[in-house]
Structure 1
Amino acid sequence: MTDLLRTVELPEGFAYPAEFVRVVGLGLTHLEPWWIFDGSLLRRRATGLSERYPERRPVPFARREDNDDVACWDLEGGDVAVIHDFASPGWEQRRTFPDFNAWLRQAVEDLIEHGG
């Protein structure tokens, strides 16, 4: 079972979207090169992102194994942002998606490309 952030660890007013919960519940957590975070790795990355980018309110949920990209819900923008972690503040934004499903479609495309 995937160890996600508990309700008390999530920012006030945020809950995991139902689509995300369904994907995790189905065990679709390794979409190489993307991996859904869980456990202590998720908690460390959530803390690190908030420290490195204090002007943002990201809730991370996946990382890309071949670089430092992290997919997050961007609570300021209301969308999904891909942040290049450890980049200088202001240079971290890689991409945005309107919602989790749009990100998931791209993650599947990345899986197809990565395996080829």
Structure 2
Amino acid sequence: MMELLLGRTQHVDELFPGWGVIPFARRTDNDEVACWTGGSVVILDDFDVVRDAGGEAVRRAISEYASMDEWLIAVVRDFIEFD
């Protein structure tokens, strides 16, 4: 399990250098990864990366939550609707 977490963190760091995000959760039905920014949660698709003319990854979050609580509420709602 720890190897998976480390691998995901390294993958996100390679794709989005300097962003300072920490991946902590992922969906198993798509490529979305929830990342902590230090103050909010951003949802990234770590396999659908948009690059600028210089080849740098463009910061594009699928969604963003102002707090961990807000993200958790959205996750629980999504789980209830899915079930």
TM bucket (normalised to shorter chain) is: 0.7 to 0.9
Shift of 1:55: 3.4
The one-letter amino acid of 1:66's match is: D
Residue 112 (structure 1) aligned with residue 80 (structure 2): yes
**TM-score scaled by structure 1?**
0.60
Residue 84 (structure 1) aligned with residue 45 (structure 2): yes
The residue that corresponds to 2:10 in the other structure is 47
- Percent identity of the aligned residues? 36
Instruction: Name the count of aligned residue pairs.
Output: 76
CA RMSD of aligned residues (A): 1.4
The residue that corresponds to 2:33 in the other structure is 70
Distance 1:86 1:74 in 2: 19
> SS of the residue aligned with 1:42?
helix
Give the unaligned 5+ runs of structure 2: 50-56
Q: Deviations over 1:28-58 (max 9, x none)?
A: xxxxxxxxxx521111000100001113111
Q: Which runs of 4+ in 1 moved over 3 A?
A: none
Shift of 1:81: 0.5
